[in-house]
């Protein structure tokens, strides 16, 4: 089939966005043909198409990109081009000489001679490079010897996450979970009394990160914050809220698979310049609720009414489902919201996504484990999908970040669940109504359809932009808190001036 005919056939059943991407790929392929190039590889076509606002390489390679690949292959077949780049292999001139010698014995001797020749030429070149010796006879004043080694405090350069990982390594919680004990010499002993970590292990870590030891019941996994914790009543729920600072209010909305602790670093750091607020939704963290009818935007409104002065607008920062709630709030109460900063957001009313094969298999495993009541398996599979990313080696994210996710999500798995949530508004078809700035961050290791959806949301609103976070998946605030805080600080400088309440 001619590429032009295939294009019209594919566009007949495509969405407007997909039809536009098909047109871009078609135009790029036509230009490749017209300039006499036979390179119709996905890497080349996607690179040129992306520069024109078309689909990226990962989108074309996904299951949902079959139509894009089919169009590229049609052009390659029509023009006699190649869909894979031909690797250039440089021929060794030594082999070219040896191939012309038919006698194996002579060929072996000649090979040894050529190898020795190459070695000697290398030695000659080394000698040539050192033939000129310069002796500087100028007198100089004697200088005082300097220390060649600078000793720094052991904790210098450690991030908050690295310090917390060390604290957890000697925490009472870990000792209790593993059945280990610590002795007076700083050793860690197994249940049989044998040392698994040598003398000085515990005391050395305490000297590095301080004398604070995480108690067994401390599940926050985060440095103590100078925050205030309060409770806000919303219907029949007592919502746990953490807040700090003053000035422009920023409300953090967590993902459905976490709780407010995923924002601990952001709340603490940004609280020095803004009024930062984070709360646990029903069924998560420390919020208490009975199974009564409610809405997520209704609970958000209760928090705003309690902590944001009347007449002032808040900035919402939301991840995943928290981002979807932020979008709903911008539509339902535009007079209360001034900007949205979203990370891999969902959106209410969106059609069911077309999942790629790898993601589909993980989701099937999660469904099977859920039906059989295997909560630990569900927890680990969710970590693989959302913390690591479906296409990365498992486990990619380890240490304190992984423990924090598993601990937060386990609370959700163990909760009875809240089943009477009122359906939100369908924001999918109303995104054009949102006039406030929307900035979206999305990890390039996240689930492919979530990346695609993030870009689509940014393109569908009046003032939107989507930026990729390299090397991160669905939960960057857990995976790399410091980097995520820096990204949010940059975006906040665009959408809100720093001001302090008097």
Residue-wise DSSP of 153-180? -TTTT--HHHHHHHHHHT-HHHHHHHT-
* Rg, Å, the chain Cα set: 30
Task: Check: CB of residue 28 under 8 Å from CB of residue 48.
Answer: yes
| pLDDT computed for residue 377 by the predictor | 94
Integer Cα distance of 275 and 248 in angstroms: 6
Q: Tell me: pLDDT of 178 over 90.
A: no
| pLDDT computed for residue 137 by the predictor | 56
Q: Tell me: pLDDT of 459 over 60.
A: yes
Q: Tell me: pLDDT of 490 over 80.
A: yes
Integer Cα distance of 200 and 214 in angstroms: 18
Distances (CA, A) of 105 to 93, 192, 303, 336, 404: 20, 67, 88, 88, 67
Start-to-end CA span in the chain (Å):
71
Integer Cα distance of 427 and 328 in angstroms: 6
Question: For residue 395, what are its two tokens?
Answer: 């486990």
Query: 165-169, 207-211, 339-343, 490-494: which range is least confident on average?
Result: 207-211
Q: Tell me: pLDDT of 222 over 60.
A: no
pLDDT tens profile 85-117: 654 444 566 666 777 787 777 777 787 787 778
In this predicted model, which residue has the larger pLDDT, 192 or 464?
A: 464
pLDDT tens profile 363-394: 999 999 999 999 999 999 999 999 999 999 87
pLDDT tens profile 229-281: 899 999 989 999 999 999 999 999 999 999 999 999 999 999 989 999 999 99
Q: What is the pTM of this model?
A: 0.58
Query: What does 75-114 look like in DSSP terms, one character per residue?
Result: HHHHHT-BSSPPPP-PPPHHHHHHTT---HHHHHHHHHHH
Q: What is the mean pLDDT of residues 206-215?
A: 54
């Amino acid at each position: 089939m001619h590429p032009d005919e295939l294009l019209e056939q594919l566009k007949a059943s495509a969405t407007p966005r997909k039809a536009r991407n098909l047109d871009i790929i078609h135009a790029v392929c036509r230009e490749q043909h017209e300039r006499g190039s036979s390179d119709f590889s996905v890497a080349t076509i996607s690179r040129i198409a992306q520069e024109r606002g078309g689909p990226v390489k990962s989108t074309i390679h996904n299951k949902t990109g079959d139509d894009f690949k089919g169009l590229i292959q049609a052009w390659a077949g029509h023009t006699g081009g190649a869909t894979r780049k031909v690797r250039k292999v440089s021929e060794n001139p030594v082999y070219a000489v040896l191939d012309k010698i038919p006698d194996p014995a002579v060929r072996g001797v000649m090979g040894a001679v050529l190898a020795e020749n190459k070695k000697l030429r290398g030695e000659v070149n080394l000698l040539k490079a050192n033939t000129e010796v310069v002796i500087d006879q100028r007198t100089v004043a004697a200088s005082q010897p300097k220390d060649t080694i600078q000793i720094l405090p052991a904790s210098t350069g450690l991030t908050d996450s690295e310090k917390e990982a060390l604290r957890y390594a000697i925490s009472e919680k870990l000792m209790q979970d593993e059945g280990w004990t610590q002795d007076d010499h700083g050793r860690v002993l197994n249940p049989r009394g044998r040392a698994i970590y040598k003398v000085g292990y515990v005391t050395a870590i305490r000297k590095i990160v301080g004398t604070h030891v995480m108690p067994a019941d401390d599940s926050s996994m985060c440095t103590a914050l100078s925050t205030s914790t309060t409770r806000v009543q919303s219907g029949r729920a007592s919502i746990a809220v953490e807040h700090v600072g003053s000035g422009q209010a920023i409300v953090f909305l967590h993902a459905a698979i976490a709780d407010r602790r995923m924002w601990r670093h952001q709340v603490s750091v940004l609280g020095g310049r803004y009024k930062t607020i984070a709360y646990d939704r029903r069924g998560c963290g420390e919020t208490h609720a009975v199974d009564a009818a409610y809405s997520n935007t209704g609970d958000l409104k209760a928090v705003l009414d309690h902590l944001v002065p009347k007449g002032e607008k808040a900035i919402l920062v939301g991840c995943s489902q928290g981002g979807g709630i932020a979008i709903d709030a911008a539509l339902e109460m535009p007079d209360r919201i001034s900007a949205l900063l979203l990370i891999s957001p969902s959106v209410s009313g969106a059609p069911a996504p077309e999942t790629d094969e790898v993601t589909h298999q993980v989701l099937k495993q999660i469904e099977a484990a859920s039906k059989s009541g295997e909560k630990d398996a569900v927890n680990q599979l969710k970590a693989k999908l959302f913390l690591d990313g479906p296409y990365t080696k498992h486990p990619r994210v380890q240490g304190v970040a992984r423990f924090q996710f598993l601990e937060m999500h386990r609370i959700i798995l163990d909760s009875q669940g809240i089943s009477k949530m009122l359906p939100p508004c369908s924001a999918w078809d109303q995104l054009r109504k949102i006039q406030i700035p929307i900035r979206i961050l999305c990890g390039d290791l996240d689930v492919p359809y979530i990346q695609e959806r993030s870009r689509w949301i940014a393109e569908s609103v009046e003032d939107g932009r989507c930026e990729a976070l390299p090397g991160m998946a669905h939960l960057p605030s857990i995976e790399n808190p410091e980097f995520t805080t820096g990204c949010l600080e940059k975006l906040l400088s665009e959408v809100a001036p720093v001001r302090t309440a008097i």
